[in-house]
Amino acid sequence: MPQDLSAVAWPVRTERLSLRPATTDDLPALFEFRRIPEVAQWLPTLPTDRDAFVERLSDPDRLAVTLVLELDGRVIGDLYLSLGSPWAQAEVADLAENTQAEIGWVVSPDHCGRGHATEAARGLLRICFEDLGLRRVRALCFADNTASWRIMEKIGMRREEYAVRDSLHRSGEWLDGMAYALLADEWRAARDA
């Protein structure tokens, strides 16, 4: 699904970071940390070849859902932001179109443990609810990816699902999965509290 992020004034700045749409020039930097085993173990695709990685992420639809996370002008991570539509009855389906998003994040291990991923995820929620006017945001992870679901909880997301052995990992094991979500009114209430 094509993305329309034109309502956002890029780059978006948080306290320490800058978020912006990725360009093909950013892709080699993303490869450098995404290929690290401790990072790659949680990603949908194992990046092993730089040229293949750059070619795959250069696809306009894939590039449209990728944002980069910069610290002092250096790419230290990337974010996933995909607009979507929830299930709706046929008579009102047009009212539900592009009212929610799925988000995700990857941060270089060199910058983990400093709150960068949490800060970026908070910034991403603000973009979703303020700039894009979405009504719901969700995020998914393997249950074993403790760092990711802890970020979801830190930014106020609610655990909505714990699925037992629902996801086949490239290790050959079936792993548990988790889904978190947050509604716009919940986000506003927490922000204003």
**R_g of the chain, CA atoms, integer Å:** 17
In a domain, 6, yes or no: no
In a domain, 57, yes or no: yes
141-155 pLDDT, tens per residue? 999 999 999 999 999
Supply the CATH number for residue 85's domain: 3.40.630.30
Q: Is the dihedral of CA 179, 183, 187, 192 positive or negative?
A: negative
Average pLDDT of span 43-61: 94
DSSP character at residue 11? S
90-129 pLDDT, tens per residue? 999 999 999 999 999 999 999 999 999 999 999 999 999 9
In a domain, 3, yes or no: no
166-192 pLDDT, tens per residue? 999 999 999 999 999 999 999 999 999
Q: Which domain holds residue 128?
A: 12-192
SS (H, E, C) 95-124: HHCCCEEEEEEEECHHHCCCCHHHHHHHHH
19-39 pLDDT, tens per residue? 999 999 999 999 999 999 999
pLDDT band for 3, please (50, 70, 90 cuts).
low
In a domain, 65, yes or no: yes
In a domain, 2, yes or no: no
pLDDT greater than 90 at residue 5: no
In a domain, 186, yes or no: yes
pLDDT greater than 70 at residue 2: no
What pTM was computed for the model? 0.94
pLDDT at residue number 66: 97
Q: How many whole angstroms separate alpha carbon 98 and alpha carbon 92?
A: 13
Q: Which amino acid makes up residue 10? A: W
69: which 2 tokens? 């996370």
Report the candidate in 191, 180, 163, 14 with the shortest Cα–Cα distance to residue 100: 180
Q: Is the peptide bond before 21 cis (omega within 30 degrees of 0)?
A: no
Q: How many whole angstroms separate alpha carbon 182 and alpha carbon 68?
A: 22
pLDDT at residue number 1: 35
Q: Number of folded domains in the chain?
A: 1
Burial of 72 (0-12, 13-18, 19+ CB in 10 A): exposed
